[in-house]
Structure 1
Amino acid sequence: MKKIIITIALSIVTFISAQSQQVPTGGQYEQGMGKAFGLWKKGKNTEASDLFERIAAAEPTKWLPNYYVALVNTTAAFGIKDKESINALLLKAQNALDLEMTKDQNNAELYVMQAMINTAWIVYDPMTNGQKLSGPTMGLYAKAEALAPNNPRVVFSKAEFEIGSASFWGKDTKPMCAQIDKAIALFATFKPETVFAPNWGLDRAVEAQKKCK
């Protein structure tokens, strides 16, 4: 499961690298988002998170700034062992995500984000959080799948989480590997709604597919 989290983080690094090159010039929102992605690409996680947070406060009808507050802080938490640091990062992530979940319970990307926060907690302390959060995390993926069955991030993230659990318990991973194949096919035709919309995961899915075979 720890390897899953680390590789998700690497896949997101690839995403922000591409994202920062595609940001259009335009209004204040576009410029702010572009600057935040640039900071994130440079590894300035705190500065990027703070800027996304300010954009979210100025643009309360847009869900993406808070989504990226959650994503920046969750990925920053990967691999950290210090309890206070983990708590601070994931609390910030959770608070930002909660703001958007109260506005919209029909956004599959938000459920995937919540599942990632849960998984970060599981990796940090599997003995305490594994049994407590594994079931609810699968429930989140089920909700996301019901809302967006053809979203490649939903299909892939759910399959990879299941592979982590199946590997731990020594169960067959072939059904999950078939879902990863499906996710890769979906990535080929997936078109994000905007240049800022989530578009990460393909490179990690390809790596997961190689391991399956």
Structure 2
Amino acid sequence: MRKQILSFTLVLFSLLSFAQSAYEKVMKEKIAKIETSKTPEDFQILANDFQRIAEKEKGKWQPSYYAAFSYIQKGRILMRENKVQGLDEIADQAQKYLDEAQSVDKNAEIQLLQKMIYSLKMMVNPMERYMTFGTKATEQFAAAEKLDPNNPRIALIKAEDVYFTPAQYGGSQTKGIELFKMALDKYNSYKPKTDFDPNWGKSEAEYFVNQAPK
């Protein structure tokens, strides 16, 4: 009987180890694609991939987080192309998966994505929505920054906001570049807790820092 129990335990352990290693492999592959994805279609494919992982890994927040992030990136690309008609639907899809991530964990990375979702919704009609979604975005950003002030992605989004906001509304490309430099400094010293925790954005900070006059 003891041999049978031991054999069963070893088989179960082997199966669990195989499942874990398969999860780790596919997550690393998909996370690596974040840096190479450039189009809305790329990020939609990535969102679909992370959705499938999230369906199998209910106890982990990262797959749902990355599904939400992929939708957000899709929306941000369309926003920069002035294609705002579908942003509400995209933001709602991102919210669905971010809610799943928040049901497992609550952290600054998730709060930052919430800020980004509210910003997408605001950009559908900034004049009408600033007092609602703009205010919510500001509140979420402040909460994320308070929770993890050294987080480089928080610094990156702050730099973006300053850089792309028109001067008459308090924006400044010069100040934005300085904030991108601060973000890059944080990227160079910040260490994610695990291999699957967010680590995106450094290349964007580098790009804007390299645009600064020498």
Pair in the same fold by TM > 0.5: yes
Q: CA deviation at 1:71?
A: 1.1
Residue 66 (str. 1) matches residue 67 (str. 2): no
CA distance in 2, matches of 1:176, 1:45: 26
- For 1:147, give the aligned amino acid: L
Closer/same/farther in 2, CA of residues 116 and 35 from structure 1, 3 Å limit: same
Closer/same/farther in 2, CA of residues 67 and 35 from structure 1, 3 Å limit: same
- For 2:191, give the aligned amino acid: K
Answer 1 or 2: higher relative contact order, Cα 8 Å, separation at least 6.
1
Contact 1:111 / 1:141 at 8 angstroms: preserved in 2?
A: yes
Following superposition of structure 1 onto structure 2, how do residues 91-170 of structure 1 map, counting pairs within 5 Å? 91-105=92-106, 107-165=107-165, 167-170=167-170
> What is the DSSP-based 3-state SS (H/G/I as helix, E as strand, rest coil) of the residue aligned with 2:207?
helix
Contact 1:39 / 1:47 at 8 angstroms: preserved in 2?
A: no
> Structure 1 residues 88-97 or 158-167, which shifts more?
158-167
Structure 1 vs Structure 2 CA RMSD? 3.0
Count of aligned pairs between the two proteins: 187
Contact 2:68 / 2:98 at 8 angstroms: preserved in 1?
A: yes
Q: Deviations over 1:172-193 (max 9, x none)?
A: 6666554433222111112222
Consecutive unaligned residues in structure 2, runs of 5 or more: 1-19
Contact 1:159 / 1:179 at 8 angstroms: preserved in 2?
A: yes
What TM-score, normalized to structure 2? 0.72
CA distance in 1, matches of 2:164, 2:130: 11
Q: Which residue of 2 aligns with 1:10?
A: none
Closer/same/farther in 2, CA of residues 175 and 59 from structure 1, 3 Å limit: same
What TM-score, normalized to structure 1? 0.72
Contact 1:138 / 1:158 at 8 angstroms: preserved in 2?
A: no
Q: CA deviation at 1:153?
A: 0.8
Closer/same/farther in 2, CA of residues 186 and 39 from structure 1, 3 Å limit: closer
> What is the DSSP-based 3-state SS (H/G/I as helix, E as strand, rest coil) of the residue aligned with 1:197?
coil
Closer/same/farther in 2, CA of residues 123 and 32 from structure 1, 3 Å limit: same
Contact 2:78 / 2:84 at 8 angstroms: preserved in 1?
A: no
Closer/same/farther in 2, CA of residues 142 and 57 from structure 1, 3 Å limit: same
Closer/same/farther in 2, CA of residues 91 and 186 from structure 1, 3 Å limit: same
Structure number with larger C-alpha Rg: 2
Q: CA deviation at 1:169?
A: 1.4
CA distance in 2, matches of 1:35, 1:178: 33
> Structure 1 residues 86-95 or 73-82, which shifts more?
73-82
1:56 to 54, 57, 80: 54
Residue 90 (str. 1) matches residue 86 (str. 2): no
CA distance in 2, matches of 1:49, 1:116: 16
- For 1:29, give the aligned amino acid: Y
Closer/same/farther in 2, CA of residues 168 and 137 from structure 1, 3 Å limit: farther
Q: Which residue of 2 aligns with 1:79?
A: 78
Q: Which residue of 1 aligns with 2:3?
A: none
Closer/same/farther in 2, CA of residues 133 and 62 from structure 1, 3 Å limit: same
1:29 to 4, 20, 23: 23
CA distance in 2, matches of 1:64, 1:182: 26
